[in-house]
Amino acid sequence: MVGIYLSGTGNTKHCLERFLSLLDPGAELIAIESSAASAAIGGNDEIVLAYPTQFSNIPYMVRDFIRNNGDAWKGKKVFCMTTMGLFSGDGTGCAARLLKKYGASVSGGLQLLMPDAVCDSKLLKKSVEENKRIVAAADRRLEKAAEEIRSEGKYPREGLGFAAHLAGLFGQRLWFYGKTADYCKKVKISDDCVGCGSCVKNCPMENLSIKDGKAVSAGRCTMCYRCVSQCPKKAVTILGNRVYEQCRYEKYVPEPADKL
Ligand SMILES: Cc1cc2nc3c(=O)[nH]c(=O)nc-3n(C[C@H](O)[C@H](O)[C@H](O)COP(=O)(O)O)c2cc1C
């Protein structure tokens, strides 16, 4: 088994790490931007594909990854995992339908509530304590799902049914489809940028570079928010115009009491 993931602020990486450590401790975790990710599909019969929900849809980079490896999915057993800040509808189903088109069989789906990653919007922002409790609850759900798979061979099917499809479509996708229909060209770099290159190093799309001492975007952003959440000068925004809170999983590691 192998886990392949896209993660901007670390939520999805954490969930996948936790899931695999319970299900198959030897399983490798590979970032989608790594050159090893495509080869990992060919070398494994069972794959967990994990990514953040964006507007009840798949991030464009994940869609491209599925398409670009079209033939490699044939006969593979894929479990889809998505993390979300509030509502995902059929966040797993969107990838599952595409994977099935390429001949994969989808073994299950898990949609996990995690802290919101949109650093340049006030919407959905919670206190650090609340976010710690949210992470602890996600951990419990991961433990339960892994236990049911291991002991009963029972896979969760969250986001894969018809009702979830309707919820995702009418809840968000119809109104926000344009946001995930292509790579985003809206990355903004403010005058506070000092050209340190943190965003360049972190971008999974190699979309950012330094020109004349400042970061510039090439218009191929998958909206993972890694650059926004890690810029030391808070100089990068995407959907909003100001960084309210830099969100990163490490801030929300639950206290032992949250785990009860
Ligand atoms: C551009 C964008 C769009 C998002 N859209 C949704 C959404 O439609 N529903 C939702 O529940 N969360 C949404 N979120 C929140 C993320 O899915 C959530 O915070 C996720 O856990 C981030 O995972 P990561 O840290 O692995 O990137 C969105 C986040 C971003 C950056």
DSSP letter string, 184-247 = B---EE-TT-----HHHHH-TT--EEEETTEEEE-S-B----HHHHH-TT--EESSSSS-S---
Beta bridge partners of 51: 82
Residues of the chain above pLDDT 90, percent = 92
Name the CATH superfamily, with its identifier, for domain 2-178.
Flavodoxin domain (3.40.50.360)
Cβ of residue 224 lying under 6 Å from some atom of ligand 1: yes
The predicted structure's pLDDT at residue 124: 84
In words, the CATH class of domain 183-237 is alpha beta
Reported as type and span, the H/E element at residue 80 is strand 77-84
- Convert the pLDDT of each residue in 176-231 to its tens digit: 888 889 999 999 999 999 999 999 999 999 999 999 999 999 999 999 999 999 99
Which residue's CA is minimally distant from atom 28 of ligand 1? 54
Burial of 10 (0-12, 13-18, 19+ CB in 10 A): buried
pLDDT on residue 257: 81
Q: Please give the average per-residue pLDDT across 162-173, as a whole number.
A: 93
- Ligand 1 atom closest to the Cα of residue 83 is 21
Q: Is 85 in the pocket of ligand 1 (CB under 6 A)?
A: yes
Domain boundaries, the chain: 2-178, 183-237
- The whole-number pLDDT of residue 250 equals 96
Q: What per-residue confidence (pLDDT) applies to 11?
A: 98
Place of tokens 């100001």: 242
Is 116 close to ligand 1, i.e. is its CB under 6 Å away?
A: yes
pLDDT digits (tens, 9 = 90+) for 85-130: 999 999 999 999 999 999 999 999 999 999 999 999 998 889 999 9
Ligand 1: centre distance to CA 97 (Å): 20
